[in-house]
Structure 1
Amino acid sequence: MNTIRNTLSLSKMLPHAKITPHRSAARGHSDHGWLNTYHSFSFADWFDPSLTHFGSLRVLNEDRVKPNSGFPTHPHRDFEIFSYIISGELTHRDSMLRKGAEGGQSDKFYRMRRGDVQFTTGGTGIAHSEQNEHAKDTVHFLQIWALPWKRGLTPRYHTRHFEDDEKRKGFVPILSPLKGGPEATFEQENLAEPTIDGTIPIHADFVMGAGLIAPQGKFEWIVGSGVTESSKRKVYIHVPMAKKGKAKVRIDGREDILSEGDGAFVDGVHAGDKLTVESVGEVEAEVVVLDTA
């Protein structure tokens, strides 16, 4: 695993970086009973013209789904969609697979738990369901969408597990661009090799990472992770609501403190910049980094 290691010293300040907090209270919110969801960007019937996308990042929903409920079979098209499981379990079923005929974990059936990330290329069209089939536990996860570098891609799934122990050492890369880029050959598409070993390939100039930062700990994110095409980058940082409000972080030594549910737009940065995220709360902070052109 290509892990970006913790550093004992503060990173150099990035005076050229514009860092704008996106507070949890400014997110869209809907409670449907079975689904309690927060939208960092315009989604469904919640629309904010200033929050339609950030680079290729289009959707970041923080969802909680109650037991024995979920999203019935529904279609996706021309988006890169991924689920990051924080707690509980979420069961993916392909639309062509009959319940009770699952067999083992596969692209057509996968029961995701803490540390799992499932990725879907919607491409020319795909349909699936995502249900919490657990008898009593709510599932808490992030649903994230990115704009692909081209339309009409071949639909496909990828699922990988990422250990918490690795996330406690430094930011762990989760997604990285597909080798071959926008002009990837048929063979490269089928091989589905990411530019960073051990990650999930995405059809975008986009890298995702995640870390678990102990109180007073500092992790360093290398903007672009050494694999992206565009040197001008945007980074979105999100702190999930996972620690009962006790986790807090500071970015690049700035005065603003991010609490759980908050995010931050980091603009004006370049590939190779070192962006420091410091845990300043009472407990370990879970932090997700979304790095895009």
Structure 2
Amino acid sequence: MSSTLRHAKITPHRSAARGHANHGWLDTYHSFSFANWYNPNFTQFGSLRVLNEDRVKPNSGFPTHPHRDFEIFSYILSGELTHTDSTQQHKRTKNSSSSRSEQGEQEESDLFCRVRRGDIQFTTAGTGVTHAEFNYHREEPVHFLQIWVIPWKRGLAPRYDRARFADDDKRRGFVPLLSPLRGGVDATPAQERAAEPVIPGTIAIHADFVMAAGIIAPGGRFEYTVGANATDAARRKVYVHLPMTKGGRARIRLDGREEDEGGVLAEGDGAFVEGVNAGDKLVVESVGDAEAEVIILDTA
């Protein structure tokens, strides 16, 4: 198929160019500069600051540590992850929306929640939180993406949320997972408490930012609408990431472009899509031997 976004610049970010560290208990890849790995070419992309692809061994994890002034969230690819934080909001979080499919039962108390395949757990660090993430499973590692986004202002009140999004829905097309808080940067205290997102059924984030995910069968083709009809900002940037979930058998093509044009991604690769406008259609094809779980990160 031919390109429909010739005005767009698509630059691959190959997996081999990512930062990588294996600490024994943690095997981690950094798409953007993080911890002891710094690359001036990969510091942030719009409001997207961190995209780490992590595998944590059983009975291991991140001990309690502080954060502030970031929107921090984890997307679980396989296994389970137990999250604790100082907000202690896990019982009070909204998680009964009919738009969020397959909420499922969570093993939890007021102090922790356990998230699994298809779950997102989300924290507004704001004025400051401490949290820990641990894999208590005796045998299975947990594989997840940890993502940090720069909020539209500092000093926000800390908040926790979570949701589960069904694989069946993602196999029908791109499913929005996060979208901007209704009210935007000037949201009222009532809007902050309600935490209503612009796109119903998503998690509200304090940024002009949309996250979506789709699972595309070999030979399949999905179309993503830039901006997801959730933003007034005309100029957008989109980062596409293909997690390492199928032993290298998943591959995707962006905008009909061939490999020598930077349009074909293998597992672990990402791509910077720049010069696009809200409403543009980004076509993603699955051209490998296994279904491809594609993550879209859409920012102003």
TM over 0.5: yes
Matched residue, 1:263: 270
How far apart are 1:229 and its partner, in Å? Answer: 2.7
Q: How does 1:190-201 map to 2 (within 5 A)?
A: 190-201=193-204
Matched residue, 2:282: 275
Q: How does 1:33-182 map to 2 (within 5 A)?
A: 33-95=24-86, 105=108, 108-182=111-185
How far apart are 1:227 and its partner, in Å? Answer: 1.0
Work out whether 1:27 is the aligned partner of 2:18.
yes
Matched residue, 1:4: none
SS in 2 for 1:160: strand
CA deviation profile, 1:116-148 (whole Å, cap 9, x unmatched)? 001110000001110000001000000000000
In structure 1, what is the Cα distance between the partners aligned to 2:130 and 2:183? 26
In structure 2, what is the Cα distance between the partners aligned to 1:287 and 1:108? 32
CA deviation profile, 1:25-52 (whole Å, cap 9, x unmatched)? 0000000000000000000010001111
Matched residue, 1:286: 293
How far apart are 1:274 and its partner, in Å? Answer: 0.2
Preserved contact between residue 84 and residue 118 of structure 1 (Cα < 8 Å): yes
Residues 14 and 34 (structure 1), Cα distance of their counterparts in 2 relative to 1, 3 Å cut: same
Preserved contact between residue 78 and residue 152 of structure 1 (Cα < 8 Å): yes
In structure 2, what is the Cα distance between the partners aligned to 1:123 and 1:95? 12
Preserved contact between residue 95 and residue 129 of structure 1 (Cα < 8 Å): no
What is the TM-score of this pair, normalised by structure 1?
0.93
Q: Which runs of 5+ in 2 are unaligned?
A: 89-105
Matched residue, 1:233: 236
Q: Which runs of 5+ in 1 are unaligned?
A: 1-9, 98-102
SS in 1 for 2:42: coil
In structure 1, what is the Cα distance between the partners aligned to 2:177 and 2:200? 10
Preserved contact between residue 27 and residue 56 of structure 2 (Cα < 8 Å): yes
Amino acid at match of 1:252: D
What is the TM-score of this pair, normalised by structure 2?
0.91
In structure 1, what is the Cα distance between the partners aligned to 2:292 and 2:189? 41
In structure 1, what is the Cα distance between the partners aligned to 2:206 and 2:229? 17
Aligned length, in residue pairs? 279
In structure 1, what is the Cα distance between the partners aligned to 2:113 and 2:107? 8
SS in 2 for 1:170: coil
In structure 2, what is the Cα distance between the partners aligned to 1:231 and 1:112? 35
In structure 1, what is the Cα distance between the partners aligned to 2:145 and 2:191? 28
Amino acid at match of 2:144: F
How far apart are 1:230 and its partner, in Å? Answer: 1.1
Identity value in percent: 69
In structure 2, what is the Cα distance between the partners aligned to 1:70 and 1:118? 16
